Structure 1
Amino acid sequence: MKVIICGAGQVGWQIARHLSGERNDVTVVDNNADLVRRATDSLDVQGIAGFASYPDILERAGARDADMIIAATYSDEVNMVTCQVAHSVFSIPRKIARLRSQSYLTAIYSDLYRRDHMPIDVVISPEREVAEAALQRLSAPEAFDTEVFLDGKAQMLGLTIDEDCPVVNTPLRQLTDLFSTLRSVVVGVRRQGTLFAPEASDQLFVGDACYVIVHAEDIRRTMEIFGKAYRKQERIVLVGGGNVGLTVARELEKRADRVRTKVIERDRAIAERAAEALERTIVLHGDGLDAALLSEANVERADAVLCVTDDDKTNMLAAVRAKAAGCHMAIALINDPTLVPLMGPLGIDAHINPRATTVSSILRHIRHGRVRAVYSIGDAEAEMIEAEVLSTSPIAGLSIREIDFPEGVLVGAVLKQGHVVKLSGALRIEEGDLIVLFALTKDVAEVERLLQVSIDFF
């Protein structure tokens, strides 16, 4: 597959890293020559320095025979024009654009993206993706990472193993024996900075960070088994009332179980806009780092504080201050991955990586065939892949123990005829089943081969 990626920032670079690692023909375009050089030096990609929306630049990038273009520059307008040029001049069949401005995303203007208007096949909204990730974090507050699969019937939980964890130093195969009816599987473990797919004989040690796939009905029980108390979220403080904070507040207002939400926003105009858009949410104008204002928001009684301003350091400091005041749970939006290791020492419970959510969303639309969802774990170290099993797949008709998965791949969940079934080595994978797999990045290409997804190319 020949792909042109416009924009060599963090999102573009991560997408290029994924695709080039899977032997695709990738060309990166950016008007910043240094970013292009970084991509060509560190990845097996070609690079063109120039404005992505210019037809001659796209011509040099090989647009005449490209299969897909991904427009992920910092400008919405450049991304839109790039897709238009890709369609009108070069007839590139698949066009994906990242758009930030909410005005472009309003449902009543959705006709804008028809092929005879602005031909964009897939629109990715980072703010909406991040807001959804924030709501998922709140649904499992003791988890440091979460993602939903199988139409909400299964969920991935990232859980840290503490000293009071009941299953510490217990081989994973014994967990199956001890909790025979529990529908959950440990698919990944990060130990001393290294992520791996565990074997049945592996134990969980204090300090491990493990990724668990859980049936939606067994989330509370799984949390208890791993020593995490389930706490209902009734009072939430949002620091930041921009697009992300506003979207989260709106969704919280829609919930049937009443959630008391307060928003703190430093910019008066943005605070006034949020106050007008929200009905039951209290909006406070002021600095989220102001101890007096946090006290006015009753942060010490809050079940969670969610810091989603556009400044990483503000988010981290506000989360630290809220925790110091007595807030049970602090979640921070962090763009810079080099800041993530500071979370533990600072006592921040969980973080949201906007770039990872955007990368995951784009990958979902890039993957060949019947792939329904992709979630990128860590610094693109592994992926959770949800896909439909085709009749042409080598795994169709085989039991799980008969499938020759690479060492870095584990089955997390299987949906048969609308029901998530308990996993065992004897479980047979059949055509039409939905399967969720954990795969280290180096093994993703082999997973796609086993799913026989290339037959359904686009």
Structure 2
Amino acid sequence: MKVIICGAGQVGWQIARHLSGERNDVTVVDHNPELVRRATDTLDVQGVTGFASHPDVLERAGARDCDLLIAATHSDEVNMMTCQVAHSVFNITRKIARVRNQSYMLPQYGDLYRRDHLPIDVIISPEREVAEAALQRLAAPSTFDTESFMGGKLQFLGISLEDECPVLNTPLRQLTELFSTLRAIVVGVRREGRLFAPEPGDQLFAGDQIYVFSHFEDVGRTLEIFGKASKKQERVVIIGGGNVGLAVARALEARTDRVRAKMIEKNRDQAERAADELERTIVLHGDGMSAELLEEANIERADAVLVVTDDDKTNILVAVRAKQAGCPMAISLVNDPTLVGLMGPLDIDAYINPRATTVSSILRHIRHGKVRAIYSVGDAEAEVIEAQVLGTSPISGRLVRDIPFPEGVLVGAIQKGDRVEKPRGDLKVEEGDVITLFALSADVPEVERLLQVSIDFF
């Protein structure tokens, strides 16, 4: 398939990395020649320097025989105009645009994206994706990563193991025997910076970060087994009143279980806007770095602090200060993936990478319809793939133990009708089942072959 990716920043680069690694014909377009050079030097892609919305630039990128265009530049308007040109001039059949400004997303303007108006097939809103990720982190406070699959019946949890974890030094095989009724399975372990898919004889150690699939009814028990307490979040302090902070506060206000939220916003106009739009959330105007203001927000009595300003360093420092002031949980927004390694040493409990959430969302929309969900793990080190099993798939009609999955792939769960089952060797995978897999990035192409799906639309 021929793909044009407009924008060679972190999101565009990661998408290009995924698609070029799966033997697609990828061309990257950006007005910054250094970003184009970085993409062509490090990836198997072609590059064109220029403004993506200019017809002659798209023509040089091969738009006349392009199957898919992804507009992920830093400008909403450039992304939207690029899709319009791709449709009107080159008749590109599938167009995805990243749109940040929430005014473009209001439901009363939904007609804007009709095919005869502004023909964008899929709109990705990073702010909405990040807000949803933040809410999921708050819902599972003792995890550093979480995502829902199979209609919410299956949870993907990232858990940091500490010295008090009761199952350290225990082979995973033995854990399965000890907790035979637990519908949970460890599918990934990050140790000393390396992520791998564990084998039954592997043990877990303090300092490991593990990824676990758990049935939603067994999440509490799963967390307890790995030494984590399940605690309800009743008081939350949000640092940053931009689109992400506002979306989270609105969602917390809409909950039936009462959550007391306070917000700190440095910009006066933004703080006043937040105060006008929110009903029960207390909005304080000032710098979230201020120890006095954090004290005024009763940070020591809060269950969690969510730091979502537009500056990574501010987010990290405020999270550290909130923890030192007595807040038991800190979640920080971090755009720069090179800063993620600081989270553990600085005692920051969880982080949200907007680029990773955007990449996951785009991948979810560009894979064939039988792939129902995609989630990018870490710095694109692995993927969680949820897909419906086709009758033509090599795995259909076979027992789990007989399927030749690569070493870096583990089955998380299999859904048969309304029932979600923990994978067993003697469980047969049948046409129509939904399977969720953890796959290291290098093994994703083989997973797609086994599922008989591709990044295609026809």
Q: TM-score, normalised by structure 1?
A: 0.99
Q: Deviations over 1:136-190 (max 9, x none)?
A: 0001111111111111111110011111111111111111110111000101111
The alpha-carbon deviation at position 343 of structure 1 amounts to 1.4
Moved over 2 A (4+): 454-458
Q: Residue 98 of structure 1 corresponds to which residue in structure 2?
A: 98
- Structure 1 residues 228-239: aligned runs within 5 Å: 228-239=228-239
213-222 or 387-396, which deviates more: 387-396
The alpha-carbon deviation at position 369 of structure 1 amounts to 3.7
Contact 1:36 1:49 in 2 (8 A): yes
321-330 or 362-371, which deviates more: 362-371
Q: Residue 346 of structure 1 corresponds to which residue in structure 2?
A: 346
Q: Residue 365 of structure 1 corresponds to which residue in structure 2?
A: 365
Structure 1 residues 230 and 455: CA distance shift in structure 2, 3 A: closer
- Structure 1 residues 168-187: aligned runs within 5 Å: 168-187=168-187
Q: Residue 76 of structure 1 corresponds to which residue in structure 2?
A: 76
Counterparts of 1:323 and 1:454, CA distance in 2: 45
Q: Residue 16 of structure 2 corresponds to which residue in structure 1?
A: 16
Q: Residue 212 of structure 2 corresponds to which residue in structure 1?
A: 212
The alpha-carbon deviation at position 422 of structure 1 amounts to 2.5
Q: Residue 317 of structure 1 corresponds to which residue in structure 2?
A: 317
Q: Which amino acid aligns with 1:21?
A: G
Contact 1:369 1:454 in 2 (8 A): no
Contact 1:3 1:69 in 2 (8 A): yes
The alpha-carbon deviation at position 414 of structure 1 amounts to 1.1
Q: Residue 281 of structure 2 corresponds to which residue in structure 1?
A: 281
- Structure 1 residues 86-125: aligned runs within 5 Å: 86-125=86-125
Contact 1:183 1:423 in 2 (8 A): no
Q: Residue 414 of structure 1 corresponds to which residue in structure 2?
A: 414
Counterparts of 1:304 and 1:386, CA distance in 2: 31
SS at match of 1:182: coil
Q: Which amino acid aligns with 1:368?
A: H
Q: Deviations over 1:367-389 (max 9, x none)?
A: 12411111111111100011111
Counterparts of 1:47 and 1:314, CA distance in 2: 35
The alpha-carbon deviation at position 457 of structure 1 amounts to 3.8
Identical residues among aligned pairs (%): 75
Counterparts of 1:369 and 1:202, CA distance in 2: 36
The alpha-carbon deviation at position 433 of structure 1 amounts to 1.0
Q: Deviations over 1:328-360 (max 9, x none)?
A: 100100001111111122111111000000000
The alpha-carbon deviation at position 87 of structure 1 amounts to 0.6
Counterparts of 2:416 and 2:67, CA distance in 1: 34
SS at match of 1:37: helix
Counterparts of 1:389 and 1:278, CA distance in 2: 44
SS at match of 2:258: coil
Q: Residue 295 of structure 2 corresponds to which residue in structure 1?
A: 295
Contact 2:366 2:455 in 1 (8 A): no
Counterparts of 2:383 and 2:436, CA distance in 1: 10
SS at match of 1:136: helix
Structure 1: which 5+ runs fail to align? none
The alpha-carbon deviation at position 455 of structure 1 amounts to 10
Counterparts of 2:422 and 2:73, CA distance in 1: 43
Q: Residue 157 of structure 1 corresponds to which residue in structure 2?
A: 157
Q: Which amino acid aligns with 1:61?
A: A
SS at match of 1:109: helix
Contact 1:370 1:456 in 2 (8 A): no
Contact 2:390 2:396 in 1 (8 A): yes
Q: Deviations over 1:312-339 (max 9, x none)?
A: 1111111011001100100100001111
SS at match of 2:295: helix
The alpha-carbon deviation at position 286 of structure 1 amounts to 0.6
- Structure 1 residues 26-45: aligned runs within 5 Å: 26-45=26-45
Output the aligned Cα RMSD. Answer: 1.0
SS at match of 2:429: coil
Counterparts of 2:223 and 2:414, CA distance in 1: 21
342-351 or 440-449, which deviates more: 342-351
Contact 2:401 2:425 in 1 (8 A): yes
Q: Deviations over 1:264-300 (max 9, x none)?
A: 0001111111111111110111110111110110000
Q: Which amino acid aligns with 2:113?
A: Y
Contact 2:146 2:158 in 1 (8 A): yes
Counterparts of 1:407 and 1:91, CA distance in 2: 42
Q: Residue 251 of structure 1 corresponds to which residue in structure 2?
A: 251
Counterparts of 1:5 and 1:262, CA distance in 2: 40
The alpha-carbon deviation at position 456 of structure 1 amounts to 7.1
Contact 2:393 2:451 in 1 (8 A): yes
